[in-house]
Amino acid sequence: MIDPSKLQDMMREAQRLQERMQAELKAKVVEGQSGGGMVRVTLNGLLEVQSVKIEKGAVDPADLTLLEDLVRAALAQAIQRAEEARMEHTRSLAGNLGLPSGMF
C-alpha cells in the first residue's frame, strides 16, 4: 500500500515540475519562415505568437492569396519547431527523473 504522505509529496513534486516546464517553454523562442525569409513568425514554446514580420516584397495587392500562403507556411513551420522543442524538453525532464526514454 502507498503511504499517503509520500503520494502527496509525489503530487507536489509533479506540480512543481509542471510549473517549471511551463515557465521554461514560455521562455523558449522558435521561428518559422517562408518565401526565403520574407515572412517570419516567432512563437514561444507554449505556441503563443510573439511576432509576425512581413517584408514589403511579400505583399502584392493583386495576389493576397500568396501572402496568406506564406504566412500559413511560416506559422506551420514555427509550430512544428515549437512542438519539437517541447518534446525534446519533455524527454530531457524524463531523463533527469530516471524515466525510460521511450515514454515520450
Share of the chain above pLDDT 70, in %: 91
Average pLDDT, rounded, for the chain: 90
CATH number of the domain encompassing residue 69: 3.30.1310.10
Q: Which long-range contacts (CB under 8 A, 24 or more apart) does 37-40 make?
A: 38/70, 39/67, 39/70, 39/71, 39/73, 39/74, 40/74
pLDDT tens profile 54-69: 999 999 999 999 999 9
Question: Is 85:43 a contact under the CB 8 Å cutoff?
Answer: no
* Of 2 and 25, more confident: 25
Cβ neighbour number for residue 39 with a 10 Å cutoff: 23
Tell me the pLDDT tens digit for each residue of 17-37: 889 989 999 999 999 999 999
Number of domains the chain contains:
1
For residue 41, is pLDDT > 90? yes
Higher pLDDT, 90 or 82: 82
* Structural domain for 55, as ranges: 4-103
What sign does the CA torsion over 70, 76, 80, 86 have? positive
Q: Check residue 101 and give its pLDDT.
A: 59
Using alpha carbons only, what angle is made at residue 14 by residues 22 and 92, rounded to the nearest 5 degrees? 60
